[in-house]
Amino acid sequence: MAKKRGTGMAAVSYPIGMHLGGDPTGALVHATSGGNFVVAMSSVDLGQGLKTVMAQIAAEALGVPLDTVIIDTGDTDTGPHCSGTGASRTTHRAGNAVIAAAKEARSAMLDVAAEMLEVSAADLETDGKGNIHVAGVEEKSVSVAETVQAGTFQFGKTIAGRGLFLVPKSPQDPETGESDPHSTQAHACTVAEVEVDTESGEVEVLSLKSAYEIGRQINPELVKGQIVGGAWMAIGHTLCETTAPYYPTTEHAPLDFLNYGMTGVAEMPEVECELLEFPSPSGPFGAKGVGEMVANSPIPAIVNAINNALDLDISDIPVTPEVILRALDAQAAGAD
């Protein structure tokens, strides 16, 4: 009886966006006379950071400071349609809608500034710090706040913009499956290192090392949060989680967290990740998406590592201690 170590790897791609298209998402941007830019949406933040990412995209596309951007989301009366948070679609779909709306609002803002400065709007730039100036002549400038005020009280012009991003429907051909099913692909590869106790059947994941390619990262801190959280979720999916522990029987189904085995805090290994950036032409500022895929490469990597450690052939999840001990018994019986 011993502890045995093994390593395993897996490489995956993930198709970004609602499969088969036809999933619109919109955004409306307007400047308030108080100096903020409000982005109205009906999209949902589940904790992944939609509001943060949309604010970054809006600030960049408008050319205004991040802290002046308000994300007003989650209201079907004030926000345009959103087809929902799922399929790693919101950064891509909502991000593109926000860019379109912000560009239109920026153009209206620059038109007002051009009248104030008596120049052509085409000659104007924003510095992202709250100022608009003539390209190459920084002293010839007005502030964004002054421009919004002037638009409202002097020129009678709304500084606002509309965006709706829609990927056309692409139904799958019933015979061949031909379709245009996604907007871009993200990639990941994970190496798992495990130690298996052959007496108890317990698996300790020692490390998970991954590289991800998810287009341009809008927010590396939030991307890392998804990858680390997904690595943890993957360990649970691989080693213990199920609502049907003796599938196909329906017996012993958990009713609570005490009996639905999720990985505990102590079982979480260090997670290393490296990000490659291959900006996607279809994504907002080259972004793809990351939320859906983060358990997909760790799960098979861990099972491959267990098989590597024990010279086994396990091909079902979850790989509970019972599964391992039975497999080891069968292995021993076969060797006899």
Partner 1 sequence: MSEKHKIEAGHAVGQPVTLRELESHVKGQTVYYEDVKVPRMLHLKVHRSSVAHARILDIDTSRAEQSDGVVSVLTYRDVPATKVWTHFEAVGIAPGAEPILALDKVRWKGEPIVAVVAESLKQAEDGAAKVKVTYEKLASVFDVDAALAPGAPNLFDCWPDNHYLFPDDHAAAQIRFGDAEKAFAEADHIVEHVYNTRPIEQAPIETAGCVAVPGSDGRFTLYTNSQSLSNTRNNAAEIAGISPARLHLIGGTAGGGFGGKVDMAIEPMALLAAMKSKRPVKYRFTREDEMTVSSTRAAWRVSIKDGVMQDGRIVARYVTTHQDVGAYLRNSIYGAFKHASHMPGPYTVPNVSADVFCVFTNRTPSAAMRGFGVMPASFAIEMQMDRIAKALRMDPWQLRLKNAFRNGDMKAHRREVWDAALVETIQATARLSGKDLPEDYKQMSSQKRLGS
Partner 2 sequence: MTAKLVQLTVNGREEHIAADGLISLQQVLREKLDYNTVKDGCTQGGCGACSVLVDGELALACLLPVSRLEGAEITTLEGLNESNSAGVIQESFVEHSAAQCGFCTSGMIISAKALLDENPTPSRDDIMEAISGNLCRCTGYLPIIEAVQSAAGKLAKGGDGE
Name the site residues for partner 2 (rule: CB under 8 A).
46-49, 221-222, 224-225, 228-233, 256-258, 262, 264-266, 268, 270-271
Per CB under 8 A, 191 contacts partner 1: yes
Per CB under 8 A, 128 contacts partner 1: yes
Which of 6, 3, 2 has the alpha carbon at shortest distance from 303? 6
| Residue in the block written with tokens 């029987």 | 249
For residue 247, which amino acid is it?
Y
Query: 52 vs 198, which CB is nearer to partner 2?
Result: 52
Compute the distance between CA of residue 91 and CA of residue 287 in angstroms, rounded to an integer.
Answer: 7
Contact yes or no for 25/100 (Cβ under 8 A): no
Query: 265 vs 332, which CB is nearer to partner 2?
Result: 265
Per CB under 8 A, 81 contacts partner 1: yes
Query: 95 vs 230, which CB is nearer to partner 2?
Result: 230
Tally of CA atoms within 13 A in the half-sphere of 50 that contains its CB? 28
Count of residues engaged in binding partner 1, rule: CB under 8 A: 119
Report in angstroms how near the CB of residue 244 gets to partner 1 at its nearest: 5
Query: Which range in 31-39, 106-114, 154-162, 285-293 contacts partner 1 by CB under 8 A?
Result: 285-293
| Total residues belonging to the chain | 336
| Residue in the block written with tokens 């050319």 | 63
End-to-end CA distance of the chain: 17
- Catalytic, 292? Answer yes
Q: Rule CB under 8 A: which of 1-60 touch partner 1?
A: 7-15, 19-20, 22, 41-47, 49, 51-52, 55-57, 59-60
Report in angstroms how near the CB of residue 46 gets to partner 2 at its nearest: 6
Contact yes or no for 123/116 (Cβ under 8 A): no
Compute the distance between CA of residue 208 and CA of residue 193 in angstroms, rounded to an integer.
Answer: 7
Per CB under 8 A, 147 contacts partner 1: no
Which member of 121, 233, 325, 328 binds partner 1 (CB under 8 A)?
233
Per CB under 8 A, 96 contacts partner 1: no
Of 125, 195, 272, 292, which is the active-site residue? 292
At a CB cut-off of 8 Å and minimum separation 6, what does 1 contact? 198, 199
For residue 154, which amino acid is it?
Q
Per CB under 8 A, 331 contacts partner 1: no
Report in angstroms how near the CB of residue 287 gets to partner 1 at its nearest: 8
Per CB under 8 A, 280 contacts partner 1: yes
Compute the distance between CA of residue 241 and CA of residue 234 in angstroms, rounded to an integer.
Answer: 10
Q: Which residues are catalytic, by number? A: 292
